[in-house]
């Protein structure tokens, strides 16, 4: 069957009626919606659910989880019909067999506005015929996600663009269509606000690639995310032409991006959030981004050509900066000078993540003293953050609410400082710090009963510190910052697809830059001090 488990086994003629499900829904209705004078012994002889309008029943279904909705649809024909008509999100297994089931599926689910089509790498995906038929049945789509649909070409994308002009969010990964299909989407979907493209195989690798954009969508696009593209620069016209662009994420894309960043970052731009990860970008690009005067969120992750010079330029010009993530990859090119400038100019800073950076007590004290709004702090993989630095944070970061310390030479003595410091602290997580024991965690909980203390001291040797922002990023370091995308029920059609297939491995093996460990070893030796030569394994 081409349909996902969210619709598997359902048919209008089904005789399976689980009484437990009906009784649970009945209990929900009577406990919340029925007057108390009806809750007596006579209620068992009346079927109040049958008297509920379809609209009320649909609202109840929408409050249930995906699995409960699926079970409720098996109760009777009416529930099957109402559940289908009230379902706006759908995730389908997009294998080739889906084509024969499209008419039946979208006759039942005729109100779908958010659709996810996923196919694993071992299967043949739905082709252009299937996508054309879906586009004709789902003309009101506002969100579409394609994952592993390798049989879809520019022709199928053109049909989506022509028939689903109300799209606001489009995401694709490991697909084979090219620039023509992407341009068709951008030319026809004038309401498109978010575009995410990952491993798009049809975009030619080379200087002769057809440019993408800007198209009609350039007047509405607010978010562009490009990930693991061989020739992502062909999206340059789209990025430059999107005047309302607020969020730009460039993650593990090949090529030199400095020139494009210079063209994007004009004083009139609307950029508020920028992510740069494992990218060939230098201080030239960072200096250009300093023209983004409205910039609030900046991630600089494993970009070894970026130094204190670029960070200082950002700090001096982007006075609205609220969130800053730096993964210095232990190259020691970003350190005290950059952090001192952040402390001096970024009074609005609320969230700071430092990974593979070796600050001194001077720069940390400056940040703790001057960034009085700092609420979330993560310090990971630093050789210079010890008990003295942690005690300084405890004494001076009065607004701090969440703290993560990972892979630093901190001991119980430093953690004990939080028994009195950081009065607003609600959670502290310590991971892979050799000098920290479980005893100090118990002691700290006893001192501050409301403080959540999370210690992981068992697997110090298990893994090196990493902070890839595109997958799990600094979130795995325990600060619990809001993720880019979260897993939800299958009916929500929003669960992230798997990205660990052969394509990703081939990409990493072909390009050492994104493999993590083989990024210009000679440059690492040149940039690093004597202690950092052994830290290349952090990636």
Which residue ranges make up each domain of the chain?
52-86
Distance in angstroms (rounded) separating the CA atoms of residues 141 and 111: 9
Dihedrals φ, ψ of 17, to 5°? -130, 90
Cβ atoms within 10 Å of 324's Cβ, excluding its own: 25
Instruction: State residue 91's pLDDT score.
Output: 92
Categorize the per-residue pLDDT at 302 as very low, low, confident or very high, splitting at 50, 70 and 90: very high
Identify the burial level of 233 via C-beta atoms within 10 angstroms of its C-beta, where 0-12 means exposed, 13-18 middle and 19 or more buried. buried
Distance in angstroms (rounded) separating the CA atoms of residues 111 and 89: 9
Instruction: State residue 420's pLDDT score.
Output: 92
- Find the length of the chain: 539
Categorize the per-residue pLDDT at 473 as very low, low, confident or very high, splitting at 50, 70 and 90: very low
Domain 52-86 has CATH 1.20.1280: yes
> Does the pLDDT value for residue 475 go beyond 60?
no
Q: What is the DSSP letter of 256?
A: B
Instruction: State residue 27's pLDDT score.
Output: 52
Q: What is the mean pLDDT of the chain?
A: 80
> Does the pLDDT value for residue 178 go beyond 80?
yes
Categorize the per-residue pLDDT at 100 as very low, low, confident or very high, splitting at 50, 70 and 90: very high
Categorize the per-residue pLDDT at 458 as very low, low, confident or very high, splitting at 50, 70 and 90: low
Categorize the per-residue pLDDT at 1 as very low, low, confident or very high, splitting at 50, 70 and 90: very low
Cβ atoms within 10 Å of 303's Cβ, excluding its own: 28
Are the C-beta atoms of residues 1 and 8 closer than 8 Å to each other? Answer: yes
> Does the pLDDT value for residue 20 go beyond 60?
no
Categorize the per-residue pLDDT at 4 as very low, low, confident or very high, splitting at 50, 70 and 90: very low
Say which residues have a Cβ less than 8 Å from residue 458's Cβ, sequence separation at least 6.
none
Mean pLDDT computed over 297-322: 97
Instruction: State residue 113's pLDDT score.
Output: 94
Q: How far out from the chain centre does Cα 467 lie? A: 13
Q: pLDDT tens digits for 244-264?
A: 999 999 999 999 999 999 999
Instruction: State residue 88's pLDDT score.
Output: 86
Categorize the per-residue pLDDT at 332 as very low, low, confident or very high, splitting at 50, 70 and 90: very high
CA dihedral for 237, 240, 245, 247, sign (positive or negative): positive
Of the candidates 226, 222, 335, which has an alpha carbon nearest to the alpha carbon of residue 277? 226
Mean pLDDT computed over 302-328: 97
Instruction: State residue 236's pLDDT score.
Output: 94
Which contacts qualify for 257-260: CB closer than 8 Å, 24 or more apart? 257/233, 257/281, 257/285, 258/282, 258/284, 258/285, 258/288, 260/233, 260/236
């Amino acid at each position: 069957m081409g349909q996902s488990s969210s619709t598997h086994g359902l048919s209008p003629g089904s005789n399976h009626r689980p009484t437990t499900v009906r009784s649970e829904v009945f209990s929900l209705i009577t406990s919340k919606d029925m007057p108390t004078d009806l809750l007596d012994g006579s209620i068992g002889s009346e079927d109040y659910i049958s008297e509920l309008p379809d609209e009320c029943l649909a609202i109840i279904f929408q409050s249930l989880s995906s699995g409960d909705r699926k079970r409720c649809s098996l109760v009777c024909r009416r529930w099957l019909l109402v559940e289908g008509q009230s379902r706006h999100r759908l995730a389908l297994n997009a294998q080739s067999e889906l084509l024969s089931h499209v008419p039946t599926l979208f006759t039942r689910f005729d109100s779908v506005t958010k659709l996810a089509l996923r196919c694993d790498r071992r299967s043949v995906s739905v082709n252009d015929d299937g996508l054309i038929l879906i586009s004709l049945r789902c003309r009101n789509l506002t969100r579409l996600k394609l994952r592993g649909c390798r049989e879809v070409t520019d022709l199928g994308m053109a049909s989506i663009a022509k028939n689903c002009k109300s799209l606001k969010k489009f995401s694709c990964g490991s697909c084979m269509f090219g620039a023509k299909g992407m341009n068709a989407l951008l030319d026809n979907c004038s309401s498109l606000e978010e575009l995410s493209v990952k491993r798009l195989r049809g975009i030619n690798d080379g200087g002769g690639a057809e440019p993408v954009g800007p198209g009609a969508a350039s007047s509405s696009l607010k978010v562009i995310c490009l990930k693991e593209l061989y020739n992502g620069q062909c999206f340059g016209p789209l990025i430059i032409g999107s005047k309302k662009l607020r969020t730009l994420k460039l993650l593990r894309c090949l090529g030199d991006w400095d020139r494009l960043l210079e063209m994007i970052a004009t004083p009139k731009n609307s950029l508020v959030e920028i992510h740069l990860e494992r990218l060939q970008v230098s201080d030239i690009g960072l200096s250009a981004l300093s023209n983004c005067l409205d910039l609030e969120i900046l991630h600089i992750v494993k970009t070894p050509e970026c130094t204190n010079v670029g960070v200082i330029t950002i700090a001096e010009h982007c006075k609205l900066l609220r969130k800053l993530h730096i993964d210095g990859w232990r190259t020691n090119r970003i350190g005290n000078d950059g952090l001192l400038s952040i402390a001096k100019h970024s009074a609005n800073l609320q969230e700071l993540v430092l990974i593979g950076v070796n600050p001194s007590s001077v720069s940390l004290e400056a940040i703790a003293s001057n960034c009085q709004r700092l609420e979330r702090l993560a310090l990971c993989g630093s050789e210079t953050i010890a008990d003295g630095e942690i005690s300084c944070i405890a004494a001076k970061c009065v607004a701090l609410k969440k703290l993560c310390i990972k892979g630093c030479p901190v001991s119980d003595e430093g953690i004990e400082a939080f028994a009195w410091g950081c009065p607003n602290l609600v959670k502290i997580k310590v991971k892979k710090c050799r000098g920290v024991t479980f005893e100090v965690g118990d002691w700290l909980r006893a001192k501050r009963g409301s403080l959540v203390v999370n210690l992981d001291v068992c697997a110090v040797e298990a893994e090196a510190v990493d902070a890839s922002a595109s997958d799990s990023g600094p979130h795995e370091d325990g600060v619990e910052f809001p993720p880019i995308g979260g897993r939800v029920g299958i009916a929500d059609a929003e669960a992230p697809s798997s990205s660990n297939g052969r394509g990703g491995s081939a990409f990493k093996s072909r390009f050492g830059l994104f493999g993590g460990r083989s990024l210009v070893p000679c440059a690492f030796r040149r940039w690093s001090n004597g202690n950092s030569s052994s830290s290349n394994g952090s990636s």
